[in-house]
Chain A
């Protein structure tokens, strides 16, 4: 194996250079399609390596961020170790820190958000890729995109002044009255709480789950639909087949949505209630990792306090990086499989 390959490439190289020498003309760029032309023009070499440098910069940005956050949180990591993840004491005065209440609140509000957003998103994606007429498809997807463009702070403002009173006067009492026998749906009647945070998060992550699910469903080849329809399947039965093909792509989209929900800061901070008591009642106020950073970072007085907050940031960073990486790989492999 190893002896064969160099021989053939060497041969190829010889042939190429031989061809060039015969012409004895200035080197001409051969390929235009992907720009990977072999050229000895100094400008080309400089240009390629300069842009390569910046691309490498973008590539390494994630690692640079990881390094600095690790450095910043080393004090807290050294002192608390893994117990940081499952202790719930947060005492800046005594210098004792555990992130459990924040991790808990983040997970619960994100799960609520997914529970609301996932069925709706798949419904809309289904509508856009399978059912809607052409003329309706573009405006609806554009409006979903606009929903993603609204700044987080505006969601927070709206959540605080509209959604919180709405949950307080309607949703909360309704749930307590009709579903109150399930402890999950009870809690303090403030309106601020994990349910409200979950609802606002759901609105915010709908666009990303919808648009990626739609892309995946559109990538499913038409032969699948034609086959089903030819067998006499109804539109819904056909869609079901498309859905089962797009399953893993939708899972990827969900993970991307989850990543957004976990790290969302402003909207959640304004509506979740900011109470670090762990409660299994959705209507009770809670706290999230991003919110505690937002609220306490500029007031952190000791190095250890600051370091603990940076460690929460590092946790958030690690989790969202992993979620995003896995989700992108899934979505990429699904769309690639079907586009061939």
Chain B
């Protein structure tokens, strides 16, 4: 860096500065743009087909137009529900361990593995669920789909639970311990109730993510055009329906794929906004 700067060099540096700043601004615009383009397009194609029929009717046979996705909606709900029953307790309790006792090498290792787990492609999780559940049972089933979704939820739930518990002010814990309450009771009766709001939305985030998954269901739950609520049978899901209907050469099916996509994107966005609002308000003691 020279101290005597001549005007030309200065002008060049200023130009370069302005150029790079506008380039960075431009890239921000370019990156945000797909969000609006994709949401806008899904909205315009999908909203017209989201009506009562969509939610309460069964799919019509090939060639007939109309019909809805009632079985797929119920199938998705069942698999997400059962998946949550398996995945949430594991994730939440592991998260409690990390927050309460995790300041040691083992805690760091669990954290690390959980992060690595969240980077595994969802299709691979589907393959694992296939080997663990479908192969021994010898047929596709809603239960296999639930197992896959459960595995996918665990890392998100574990890490959010940990973060939410760590947000609880220390003064609460100290007050409880000072009254002679044992440590475990303090965690369950004092810390967890305060963190519940955050943990719940974090869980919703994990569930929303699982609800949008298609790949792990393709060859575990497979899909089903008929009404089935049995976990032992192949089960329909909203996302696999979108996939099948997107590839189909029928306009009416494509239309319904867009409707389902619109419903899905709305759920995911709402949960994300909710999560943002809750975590932003933090945990003032006055709030609870």
Residues of B within 8 A of A232 (CB): 1
Tell me how many residue pairs across A and B have CB atoms closer than 8 Å: 292
Judge if A175 is at the interface, Cβ distance under 8 Å: no
Interface string of A197-241 (1 = CB under 8 A from B): 000000100100010000000000000000000011111110100
In angstroms, Cα B128 to Cα A206, docked, is 28
B214 CB within 8 Å of chain A: yes
Q: Is the CB–CB distance between B41 and A158 below 8 Å?
A: yes
A143 CB within 8 Å of chain B? yes
Interface of B is mostly: helix
Establish whether residues B183 and A147, one from each chain, have CB atoms under 8 Å apart when the complex forms.
no
Does A151 contact B239, Cβ atoms closer than 8 Å? yes
**Bound state CA distance, A262 and B96, in angstroms?**
32
Give the distance to chain B from A336, nearest Cβ to Cβ, in Å.
11
- Considering the complex, which residues of chain B in the window 1-58 have a beta carbon less than 8 Å from any beta carbon of chain A? 1, 13-14, 16-17, 20-21, 23-28, 30-32, 34-35, 37-39, 41-42, 45
Which residues on the B side are within 8 Å of A263 (C-beta)? 120-124
With a CB–CB cut-off of 8 A, which chain A residues contact B17? Answer: 234-237
A270 touches B246 (CB 8 A): yes
Q: How many residues of B contact A (CB 8 A)?
A: 103
A158 with B120: CB separation less than 8 A: no
Smallest beta-carbon distance B234→chain A, Å:
10
Residue B98 at the A interface, CB < 8 A?
yes
- Contact between B38 and A58, CB atoms less than 8 A apart: no
Q: Which residues of the other chain, A, contact B37 by a CB distance below 8 angstroms?
A: 162
The answer to whether A321 has its CB under 8 Å from any CB of chain B is yes
Residues 41-59 of A at the B interface (beta carbon under 8 Å): 41, 43-44, 46-48, 50-52, 54-59
Least CB separation from B119: chain A residue: A324
- In the bound complex, residues from chain A placing their C-beta under 8 Å from that of B16 are 234, 236
* Of listed A44, A65, A69, A160, residue having the most chain B CB within 10 A: A65
Which residue of A34, A35, A62, A155 has the most chain B CB atoms within 10 A of its CB atom? A35
The chain B residue sitting closest to A315, CB to CB, is: B124
Please report the C-alpha to C-alpha distance between residue A170 and residue B164 in the assembled complex, in whole angstroms: 48
B229 within 8 A of A: no
Please classify how large the interface on chain A is, using the bins under 10, 10 to 19, 20 to 34, 35 or more. Answer: 35 or more
Query: Does the CB pair B183–A157 fall under 8 Å?
Result: no
Contact yes or no, B34 A151, CB < 8 A: no
Chain A, Cβ-Cβ closest to B187: A47
Chain B 105-126 residues near chain A, CB threshold 8 A? 106-107, 109-110, 112-117, 119-126
Tell yes or no: A301 within 8 A of B by CB. no
Query: Is B154 interfacial (CB-CB < 8 Å)?
Result: yes
- Chain A residues within an 8 Å CB radius of B31: 120-121, 124, 144, 147, 206, 210
Indicate which residue in A55, A128, A237 contacts B98 across the interface (CB closer than 8 Å).
Answer: A55
Query: 12 new A-B pairs (CB below 8 Å) besides A140-B32, A152-B213, A154-B264?
Result: A28-B180, A35-B103, A51-B97, A51-B101, A54-B89, A69-B128, A151-B213, A153-B212, A154-B265, A263-B121, A317-B124, A324-B116
